[in-house]
Structure 1
Amino acid sequence: MAVRLQREPFDLGAEVARLTEGRSDTGAVVTFSGLCRDRADSGARLVSLTLEHYPGMAEEELSRIEAEARSRWPIVDALVLHRYGRILPGEPIVLVVTLSPHRAAAFEAAQFLMDYLKTSAPFWKSEETDEGEAWVASKSTDDAAADRWRS
Structure 2
Amino acid sequence: RGPVDHVHGVLGELGARLLVDGAAVRPGHPMLLAEHGGSRHHRRFVAGLPGNPLAAVAGFVTLVRPLLRRLAGLDGAGPGAPSHFLPLGDAVRTHPTDTRLVPVSFTDARAVPLRFTGPAMLRGLALADGLAVVPPGGGVVALGAGQRVEVLPV
TM-score if structure 2 supplies the norm length? 0.27
Report the structure number with the largest CA radius of gyration: 2
